[in-house]
Chain A
Amino acid sequence: MSTSLLAVELAYWSETTLRVIGGLVAILLPAGGLVYVYLFKMMSFMQSRLGPMEAGPYGSMQLLAEVGKWLQKEDIVPAKADRQVFMLAPFVVLISTFLLILVLPFGPDAWFVDLDTGIYFAMAVSSVSVIGILMAGWGSSSKYSLLGGIRAAGQLIAYELPMVLAVLGVVIQAGTLNMNEIVFAQANGEIFGIDLIGNPYILTQFVGFALFMVAIQAELTQPPFDMPVAESELVAGYLTEYSGLRFLLFFIGEFATAGVFSGIAAVLFLGGWYVPGLAPEHDLYNVLGPLVLMGKIFLISGLIFWFRFTYPRFREDQLQRLAWKYLIPIALLNIVATGVLKVVF
């Protein structure tokens, strides 16, 4: 397995530069696409309105206008805020997103770091954002921010567990933690002897998929799990005191993380960059793969945002009850069932 971006030998500095550019593209492109397609357009259509229509054809340049607006705004730090913590927090949240994209495979060779413990690494670094959110909540020296930050911490810790346990089913079935190996396992797999479409694990791990979707919905603090930023109670939770560039960073973080988590879900359950009919070893995948994965990311994000625009939010205690009393036992049963079936078949 090559460690370079596209199996091309490059000098260290050019390879690093390429990786940084690739990382930015891989983060910002899905994030911008999700904001436009889902937040601006799908949400508007669901709510019987048109959404942005003026900036660019069909409002497609609206995001640039918004970014420009945020960049121009004053970056206000509250007088009583813990200055360094307050200013650092959005970067910590964004770092977690950038670390997550490292292990996401876009093609047989098109990925940033080839880690044998890829999914394990992803689960671990996804928790880094909690620290950033706690920093934002504490550093703002606002009661709404503090409540939001504490809620976010409790929520993210509670939902890490079902997420990891949901992933375990896939790991057991694929027999590897490496994310690209998981894609290969799905591409080369078969279900009940039929290998037309490989074995995307959504077919066998549908319980795990449902659990994973619920868990990332909570992990991304999207409704119905958006208590940390509940706008009707906490104004904007830990985001209350942020403005300008730092708010923009949080905003990018939210949608970029949605994109990356959808990518992980696509890799784990929908076969990642693989499309049925083209052998997974084919070189074309290094070009085609990112597009296929992008399509799957949009498919899964569509689910996430569909729920976001439809459901009312839980209360904090109901959310914890859901995680500890329902999701985790179901996830454990799923692991047991997967293990037994793996041995039987």
Chain B
Amino acid sequence: MSLTSNTGEREQLAYIAAKAADSRVNVEIETEGMTLNIGPQHPATHGTLRIIAKLDGEQVISADPVMGYMHRGYEKLTEVRTYPQVTTLVNRIDWLGSFANEVPFILAAEKLMEVEAPPRAKWIRTILFEMSRISNNLLGLGDMAAQLGAVTPVFYAFRDREYVLNQVEAVTGGRFHPNFDRIGGLKDDLPAGWIESSKDAMVKMAAACDELETLVMGNEIFMARTRGIGIIPAEVGLEYGLSGANIRASGVDWDLRRDAPDGMAYDEVDWKVWTHPDGDSFARFWVRLQEMREGVKIVNQLLDSIPSGPVMAKVPRIIKVPEGEAYVETENPLGVMGYYVVSQGDLVPFRVKIRSASFNNVAVVPWVLKGVYVPDIISILASLYFILGDIDR
């Protein structure tokens, strides 16, 4: 983990800004503050996150996220599901990038069983993984514009996401919940003509990136609303366990796709990890946009180089995972997602601990929201880009 240059100065500035906000809040004449309860039912949290914001005027003195309104107990539920059944369940954690939720669990189970998926399965896995990243990021970018008051880009995002979802559906049969990854490979091979249609879809995705860049990112009001707002310095982000685009936007060059590509095909293609030195809302938006572009590049290269062969390794019909423990984490659309699987040699896992990205990404909210204005609460939350299912599991 190395910091890119000239972040030091920016971090210092951010600290000074936070301190100044602190003193501004504290020095002024004592007035009765107002506690604003944002959520659990609120249009901006797209789910049931509740933020208790103590306000002085429109300035936030403190903000506490309250989680758990959507807790569904997936960790416990996995204990009464067989290993192949778990993928159905974990699909629903980050429901916008659902295929990506299956992968780390399957990789953990494969690690315990000491099987390896054949190359073609790895390739298709990586393609679908990146497609879920593209669709997820696209919606995140559109949503951020919507939270800032621009109603139109989010419709473009929803429209263009369909092209990717159609491709996912063509392979897996499910738009949102593919349930396609299997221990030792994949459920099926690709349908005929899928590679060509995917390439067409990727052309559309590249166009969508350009459109978002010119329509949203180049907008002066968008820049005024996001630049220098919600700065998270690198070490604060690391302390709070931020991951994914959020930490890369703070200048930390850390991407598990490059650093730990086991079981995936990322080291076979030519791509780049983008970081941004600023760590503000704009940087997070920018990194997500670049990651979407990289995703298109990765998918295109993988589609070209996809090897032939089976998509399923030899695994027993009834899967019993040998006794042991494994922790596998992957770079999911929202950040690092990991499964700690403890097996006692049974049909079902003994215990599964799920490390989801949004939970940690939201943990930084009290720190970053201190001293900002009410409108910036929303833009910062949107730039952190969390999925409620990913917070509460």
Contacts and interface: CB of A to CB of B under 8 A. Distances in A.
Interface string A205-242: 00000000000000000011011001111110000000
B36 interface: yes
B177 to A, nearest CB: 25
Contacts of B216: 312
Contact of B58 (A147, A224, A312): A147
Interface stretch (A42-50, A60-68, A103-111): A42-50
B152 A315 contact: no
B149 interface: yes
Interface residues of B, number: 31
B44 A314 contact: no
B151 A226 contact: no
A312 B225 contact: yes
Given A232-B378, A235-B43, A312 B221 contact: yes
B146 interface: yes
B377 interface: yes
Given A230-B375, A235-B42, A316-B58, A311 B221 contact: yes
Nearest to B219: A312
B176 to A, nearest CB: 21
A49 B155 contact: yes
Nearest to B377: A233
Interface in A265-318: 309-318
Interface in B140-166: 145-152, 155-156, 159
A233 B224 contact: no
Contacts of A312: 145, 148-150, 216, 219, 221-222, 225
A143 interface: yes
Interface string B31-70: 0001011000011100000000000001000000000000
Nearest to B147: A232
A47 B151 CA distance: 8
Given A48-B159, A232-B147, A233-B378, A310 B152 contact: yes
Given A48-B159, A231-B43, A309-B151, A315 B145 contact: no
Interface string B316-353: 00000000000000000000000000000000000000
B101 to A, nearest CB: 27
A132 B159 CA distance: 39
B152 A230 contact: no
B33 to A, nearest CB: 12
B375 A227 contact: yes
Most buried by B among A47, A232, A309, A314: A232
Contacts of B44: 232-233
A317 B34 contact: no
Given A48-B159, A315-B373, A230 B58 contact: no
Contacts of B374: 147, 233-234
Contacts of A314: 221, 224-225
B255 interface: no
Contact of B225 (A147, A223, A315): A315
B102 interface: no
B94 interface: no
Nearest to A233: B378
B376 interface: yes
A315 B42 contact: no
Interface string B226-239: 00000000000000
B43 A232 contact: yes
A47 B155 contact: yes
B34 A232 contact: no
B66 to A, nearest CB: 17
A311 B149 contact: yes
B58 to A, nearest CB: 6
A223 B150 contact: yes
B42 A313 contact: no
Nearest to B229: A315
Given A46-B152, A143-B34, A315 B43 contact: no
B142 to A, nearest CB: 11
Contacts of B159: 48
Contacts of A317: 373
Interface in B375-393: 375-378, 382
Contacts of A143: 34, 36-37
Contacts of B36: 143-144, 147
A233 B146 CA distance: 11
Contacts of B376: 315
Nearest to B372: A315
Contacts of A309: 151-152
Given A232-B43, A314-B225, 19 more contacts: A48-B159, A49-B155, A144-B36, A223-B150, A223-B151, A232-B44, A232-B146, A233-B374, A233-B375, A235-B42, A311-B150, A312-B148, A312-B219, A313-B375, A314-B221, A315-B375, A315-B376, A316-B375, A318-B225
20 contacts: A47-B155, A48-B155, A49-B155, A143-B36, A147-B36, A223-B150, A232-B147, A232-B148, A232-B149, A233-B44, A310-B152, A311-B149, A311-B219, A312-B148, A312-B216, A313-B375, A314-B224, A315-B225, A316-B375, A318-B224
Interface of B: 34, 36-37, 42-44, 58, 145-152, 155-156, 159, 216, 219, 221-222, 224-225, 373-378, 382
Interface of A: 43, 46-49, 143-144, 147, 223-224, 226-227, 230-235, 309-318
